[in-house]
A and B are shown apart, each in its own frame.
Chain A
Amino acid sequence: MDFLVVQFLTGLASACSLFLVASGLSLIFGVTRIVNFAHGAFYMVGAYVAYVLTERWSGALGYWGGLLCAALVVGAAGAAMEMALLRRIYRAPDLFQLLATFGVTLMVEDLVVLLFGPEDLLGARAPGFKGAVEILGQQVPRYDLFLIGLAPLVLAGLHLVLRRTRWGILVRAATQDREMVAALGVNQRWLFTSVFALGTALAGLGGALQLPREAVNHSMDMTIIVEAFVVVVIGGLGSITGAFLAAVLVCELNAFGILVLPEVSLVLVFAVMAGVLILRPHGLLGGAPAEARAMRLAIPPPWKPFTSAERLWVVGGLALAAALPLVAGAYALTVAAEVAIFALFAASLSFLMGPGGMPSFGHAAFFGLGAYGAALAVSGAGLPMAAALLVGPLLGLAGAVLFGWFCVRLSGVYSAMLTLAFAQIAWAVAFQWVGLTGGDNGLLGIWPEGFARTPHGFYWLALAICATGIVLLRILVFSRFGYRLRAARDSAARAETVGIDRMRVQWAAFAVAGLFAAIAGALFAFLKGSVFPDTLGIPLSVDALAMVLLGGVETVSGAILGAIAYKLLAVWLISETDQSKLVLGAVIVLLVVVFPQGLGGQITRWRRPT
């Protein structure tokens, strides 16, 4: 019993930082409608800056001043990002802003390693809150008690600011109806910048406050951003109190989940999230969706089947690709096989986002499930490669059928965030179920057999499967099913009145997209000879998103071009520089600013001169 109380307190203490980060994310989304992926990076920067300042400044004043200054520095950086980058792309489709902030995240991850080195940094203990107090015979760190007290204070402070100041009232009004606020004479530009400053400062403070609790490292951004997404979605977008309740809920679930079911404690959190969303589609305290809350991609012009000249180009391109082993060496062929695999992966996401109109932040879930499916078929069931390539993707299909059932019941950004959460569930299972998946050590020895053992053999196999898959996806777009899917996206109301079951059609699209992603994943397992939890990870999901968006959602071929360009660039950068993430992030940011409609959108405009 006493132990449970202490565990409860630990959970409450962890909720503090999470609440700070999530409330900032929620505030920013409410007013600007931007899903700020870089929020985790700001949290991390807050921790690093706090480390540096507290090392340099002495005494209690220096320590606490350092933490506060870290928050201010991060807030200034957030405002700078809003002014320099986001202001240029507010008119671009919603997802481009997400992509731009992801680019910033990549850059920050490399920058902190450059500046502070790759090793974990242990900060000093907080003056005045060292040691522990005894509660019910158990030791509870004093600093935990400080955090438990601080979170409600911050909540109250935010409430006061939002209720009692003109700025806060404008923020709440803009969260509800931005256009009306503008029509009443409020210049939204400064409102956006200031909201970004406050939101990121909260993230920075959240990071700084973790200094006495955990080591500062360069991967803490990804962990927190996923948890913050979960908290914001459970709590309801735009609701600060909701974020507080959800942060406590998530941290308590973590704290007690570890006691009850250590293997699946992460799964528990996501399961609760899915449950909350099914019962309350806008989160615990979220309001009904405002006009812009649906994450709508611009409706593209009608798809056109290829002209005969374009068909020739495609056949010619394929013939050239098939002839590659005549000139290329083993390494180049391995890269080329990887590019083909990612082209199919991106095409499957593009199918879901384009004709399906459902953006996914967690498409790697199906890719990774396919990879694990194939690997388990080989290492667990002892199946040959051909059988594993057939059976493996079924795991991805099963995942897509399960996750899709939930996702088609939610709208817009909630659905997209749910895909991210589901991907994290899959990742957590792979990571924690060591007995089956080998956990962090992965599954090894998944090598191709027969003719595919040689680099050119495997390349041909991958090329054949991926090209067939892409062609099938394209045929599907132009099939009756494809039309019904686009009908459901263009106008759900009209689709229902001509007898189309929107949810069922979209659910089927989820299954199709998941299956083809899983086929790509199964091939990937044989390409690498191994599978690790990374294949389910957020970075891979965002890679796919970047390929599709940079290529242009408007066309299936756009995703292919995006995949080829992005993957080649990534492979080349990794071989050329240690700061590949920095350069890749910068390239993403630049492309988003220069081509806010994507490369494929540009090509479509050439194809269809008006």
Chain B
Amino acid sequence: MTALLDVRGLSKSFGGVEAVRDVSFALAAGELLALIGPNGAGKSTCFGMLGGQVRPDAGRVRLAGADITGLKPRRIWARGVGRTFQTAETFASMTVAENVETALHGRTAARSAETRRLLGLVGLAAAAGRPAGTLSYGDVKRLELALALSNTPRLLLMDEPTAGMAAAERTALMQLVAGLARERQVGVLFTEHDMDVVFAHADRILVLDRGLLIAEGPPEAIRADPQVRAVYLGEGLTFSEAG
């Protein structure tokens, strides 16, 4: 069986700095895969290369066997990839409902029904008439998810999906995503800083540090991995003056 997403040898440099080096991994349909790592590890660059915002220097990205490397974002979208952004990339001058309607295709009546369904799904039904520019950060993240889902994607790329939310909201949102993954066999790749979220919801975890994939495995193995602990706590380093 071919993986839903298959990434091989992905690399990218910016002005001599290697942001991502030879990263390879695979993601199955219905799986929640977390990509974690400290600031500057290359997570966003990785995401950009998968979503078409960044053109890789080397490597291949395959979606269900088809090569999508270096395609434009809207072509990747057309193949069934929805993504959310780390910073708010919504249509700030429109209402929440208008945001989703703009992203949808089909006839007007069908669109407004689908919009209501999607907003209900992400818990934004009550905010449908509010300008997107006035949403709180957490609600922007919900809208991002609704936009990413507008295309009934088979792969979801989520860059920090729960940033700006309270703990209970984070759990609810991730449960929603997990439900989608299970029911519709959507593959989900997400970055996240809240480790509670990562360990509670990810099926597998990738750890990126300075552009390199340093660990990959189920949550318990990652938690126990000394190299991962070193990356997060700095214990792998030796200081001559350590005191």
Pair B91/A491 contact, Cβ less than 8 Å: yes
Establish whether residues B92 and A490, one from each chain, have CB atoms under 8 Å apart when the complex forms: yes
Query: A494–B53 contact, CB under 8 A?
Result: no
State the Cβ distance, B60 to closest chain A Cβ, in Å: 21
For the complex, is B24 an interface residue (Cβ under 8 Å from A)?
no
Flag if A497 contacts B93 (CB, 8 Å): no
The answer to whether B74 touches A496, judged by C-beta atoms less than 8 angstroms apart, is: yes
CA A500 to CA B105, docked complex, whole Å: 11
Q: Look across to chain B and name the residue whose beta carbon is closest to the beta carbon of A501.
A: B74
Flag whether A456 is at the interface (Cβ < 8 A).
no
Given A302-B98, A302-B131, the answer on whether A497 and B91 have CB atoms closer than 8 Å is: no
A499 in the interface (beta carbon within 8 A): yes
Chain A 346-363, CB-CB to B under 8 Å as 1, else 0, gives 000000000000000000
Structural contact, A302 and B95, CB atoms closer than 8 A: yes
Choose among A301, A484, A493, A500 the residue that contacts B85 (Cβ–Cβ < 8 A): A493
* Interface residue ranges of A297-329 to B (CB < 8 Å): 299-303
- A302: B residues at CB distance < 8 A: 93-95, 98, 131
Query: Please, how many angstroms separate the alpha-carbon atoms of A499 and B150 in the complex?
Result: 11
A299-B92 contact, Cβ under 8 Å, with A493-B53, A497-B51, A498-B103: yes
B192 contacts A by Cβ under 8 Å: no
User: What separation, in Å, do the CA atoms of A301 and B134 have in the docked complex?
Assistant: 9
Residues of chain B within 8 A (CB-CB) of A509 are none
Residues of A within 8 A of B131 (CB): 301-302
Q: How many residues of A contact B (CB 8 A)?
A: 22
Inter-chain contact A494/B150, CB cutoff 8 Å = no
Number of interface residues of B (CB under 8 A): 30
Cβ 8 A contact of A493, one of B73, B82, B101, B150: B73
Given contacts A299-B133, A302-B131, contact A483 B94 (CB under 8 A): yes
Using CB atoms and an 8 Å cutoff, list the residues of chain B in contact with chain A.
Answer: 51-53, 72-74, 76-78, 82-83, 85, 89-95, 98, 101-103, 105, 131, 133, 147-148, 150-151
The answer on a CB contact under 8 Å between A299 and B73 is: no
4 new A-B contacts, CB < 8 A, other than A497-B73, A498-B151, A499-B105, are: A301-B93, A302-B98, A483-B94, A499-B74
Closest to B150 in A: A498
Is A250 at the interface (CB under 8 A from chain B)? no
Q: What is the 8 Å Cβ interface bit string for chain A, positions 476-497, against chain B (1 contact, 0 not)?
A: 0000100110110111011111
- Bound-state CA distance A499–B51 (Å) is 12
**Nearest CB to that of B91 among chain A residues?**
A490
Interface SS majority for chain B: mixed
Q: What are 14 A-B residue pairs whose CB atoms fall within 8 Å in the complex? A: A299-B92, A299-B93, A302-B98, A303-B93, A480-B102, A493-B73, A493-B89, A494-B91, A496-B73, A497-B51, A497-B73, A498-B151, A499-B74, A500-B74
- Kindly state the separation between the CA atoms of A302 and B134 in the bound complex, as whole angstroms: 11
Q: How far is B101's CA from A430's CA once the two chains are assembled, in angstroms?
A: 45
User: Which of B52, B74, B78, B148 is packed against the most chain A CB atoms within 10 Å?
Assistant: B74
A residues 496-552 near B (Cβ < 8 Å) are 496-501
| Nearest Cβ on chain B to A579's Cβ, whole angstroms | 41
Partner pick for A490 among B76, B94, B103, B150, CB 8 A cutoff = B94
B85 adjacent to A483 (CB under 8 Å): no
Closest residue on chain B to residue A502 by CB atoms: B74
Contacts of A497 in B (CB 8 A): 51-52, 73-74, 76-77, 82-83, 89, 147-148
CA distance A487 to B147 in the complex (A): 12
Q: Is the CB of A494 within 8 A of B93?
A: no
Q: Is the Cβ of B102 less than 8 Å from the Cβ of A499? A: no
Q: Which residues of A lie under 8 Å from residue B91 when comparing CB positions? A: 486-487, 490-491, 494-495
Interchain CB contact under 8 A, B74 and A490: no
> Are B94 and A486 closer than 8 Å at their CB atoms?
yes
- Which listed residue (A487, A489, A491, A496) contacts B72, Cβ 8 A? A496
Q: Give the chain A neighbours of B95 by CB distance below 8 A.
A: 302
User: How far apart are the CA atoms of A495 and B51 in the complex, in Å?
Assistant: 13
**B130 shortest CB reach to chain A, Å:** 9
Q: Are A494 and B85 in contact, CB atoms less than 8 angstroms apart?
A: yes
The answer to whether B89 and A499 touch across the interface, beta carbons within 8 angstroms, is: no
Query: How many Å lie between the Cα of A489 and that of B74 in the bound state?
Result: 16
Q: Which residues of chain A have C-beta atoms less than 8 A from B85's C-beta?
A: 493-494
Q: Which residue of B lies closest to A610 (CB)?
A: B134
Name the A residues within 8 Å of B82 (CB-CB).
497
